[in-house]
């Protein structure tokens, strides 16, 4: 495993972070709590020290599963969670944090993130200054150790950073979803803000496991992912056909190739979601895969077969 400093904080995070949206069950199908706990422990055994969750994942279920799974090793792990976009007033943030602390069975959260900017999903706008005041208070009290943003544009990030130190940005980022490169990435690199790439395997697509005629079960939100829509899906399959021999030559899986590509970027870690112990262990091993300049150039060209046809909308789903 590789380790990076989180932003300007003193926290050390693993370059592969385990994502636990799946653990919340809602919007996924066939998730089993015992299997999830096994996946979390497998990630830990494989060297992952950093885990990402959110109050919104299954209304706290993901946080509760994670807290229970890691309570005996709390001092060895870094826990990142998020407050949702509809709870960004000062008192709401304080209340949400206390709830997350309880769910996670801990008295401090390492990284507390604003999940989506205020006003997202038609919600009411709260000035970011007010939300940051709550975050700063929680930090001064030792209840959180670092502050991060998720799904923020560069402009929104710059605005938030006026009101307190921001240590991370969590955007969608994979070989097939590269909007952050043209927006916040350079600002993050220049300002020591760590990029925590979510959906780094394009929600499983980059593992090559979904064939040309794949249909998700009812209730699996991935059917709303724009990469899975017919206008993009054929190009995705063509790109995967070209990525496969590269992975084979390196003796790695397609998913590991996709994660290693994300990790090849400066100040960037990958939040890999997993539902099973096998997936979690394979994903952790991607931290040991290094890609040559030649391979990176080839992958860049292949990724553009998909990304050149995407519009400017940085949100991956049509909810």
Ligand X SMILES: NC(=O)c1ccc[n+]([C@@H]2O[C@H](COP(=O)([O-])OP(=O)(O)OC[C@H]3O[C@@H](n4cnc5c(N)ncnc54)[C@H](OP(=O)(O)O)[C@@H]3O)[C@@H](O)[C@H]2O)c1
Longest dimension (CA), the chain: 54
| Nearest residue (CB) to ligand X, 30 versus 266 | 30
Taking CA 29 as the corner, what is the angle to CA 25 and CA 30, rounded to the nearest 5 degrees?
A: 90
Q: Which of 24, 164, 65, 53 minimizes the C-alpha distance to 112? A: 53
Residue 221 DSSP label: G
| Nearest residue (CB) to ligand X, 106 versus 151 | 151
CB of 239 to ligand X, least distance (A): 15
DSSP H or E stretch at residue 160:
helix 154-161
Q: Is 273 helix (H, G, I), strand (E, B) or coil?
A: strand
| Nearest residue (CB) to ligand X, 87 versus 91 | 87
CB of 107 to ligand X, least distance (A): 22
Q: Is 280 helix (H, G, I), strand (E, B) or coil?
A: helix
Tokens read off for 24? 């919340």
DSSP H or E stretch at residue 16:
strand 16-19
| Site residues for ligand X per CB under 6 A | 19-22, 52, 115, 150-151, 170, 198-204, 207, 209, 255, 271-275, 279, 282-283
Compute the distance between CA of residue 212 and CA of residue 195 in angstroms, rounded to an integer. 31
Find the catalytic residue in 57, 112, 173, 233.
57
| Nearest residue (CB) to ligand X, 46 versus 274 | 274
| Nearest residue (CB) to ligand X, 91 versus 209 | 209
Active site (annotated) includes residue 57: yes
CB of 297 to ligand X, least distance (A): 23
Strand ranges (DSSP E) for 132-253?
144-150, 168-170, 194-197
CB of 209 to ligand X, least distance (A): 5
DSSP H or E stretch at residue 296:
helix 293-307
CB of 140 to ligand X, least distance (A): 25
Active-site residues, by number, are 57
């Amino acid at each position: 495993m590789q380790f990076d400093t989180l932003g300007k904080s003193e926290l050390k995070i693993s370059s592969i972070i385990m994502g636990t949206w799946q653990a919340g069950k809602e919007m996924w199908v066939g998730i089993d709590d015992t299997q999830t706990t096994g996946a979390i422990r497998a990630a830990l055994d494989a060297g992952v020290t950093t885990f990402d969750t959110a109050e919104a994942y299954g209304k706290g279920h993901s946080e509760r599963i994670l807290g229970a799974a890691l309570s005996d090793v709390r001092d060895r792990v870094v826990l990142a969670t998020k407050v949702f976009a509809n709870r960004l007033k000062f008192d709401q943030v304080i209340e949400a944090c206390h709830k997350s602390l309880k769910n996670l069975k801990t008295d401090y959260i390492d990284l507390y993130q604003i999940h989506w900017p205020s006003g997202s999903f038609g919600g009411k706008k709260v000035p970011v200054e007010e939300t940051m005041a709550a975050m700063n208070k929680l930090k001064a009290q030792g209840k959180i150790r670092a502050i991060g943003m998720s799904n923020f544009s560069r402009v929104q990030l710059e605005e938030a950073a006026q009101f307190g130190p921001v240590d991370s940005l969590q955007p969608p980022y994979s070989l097939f979803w590269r909007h952050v490169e043209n927006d916040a990435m350079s600002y993050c690199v220049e300002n020591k803000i760590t990029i925590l790439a979510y959906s780094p395997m394009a929600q499983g697509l980059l593992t090559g496991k979904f064939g040309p005629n794949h249909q998700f079960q009812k209730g699996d939100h991935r059917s709303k992912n724009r990469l899975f829509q017919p206008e993009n899906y054929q190009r995705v399959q063509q790109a995967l056909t070209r990525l496969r021999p590269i992975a084979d030559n390196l003796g790695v899986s397609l998913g590991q190739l996709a994660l290693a590509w994300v990790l090849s970027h400066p100040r960037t870690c990958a939040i890999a979601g997993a539902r099973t112990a096998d997936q979690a262990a394979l994903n952790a091993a991607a931290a040991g895969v290094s890609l040559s300049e030649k391979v990176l150039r080839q992958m860049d060209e292949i990724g553009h077969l998909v990304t050149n046809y995407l519009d400017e909308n940085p949100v991956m789903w049509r909810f």
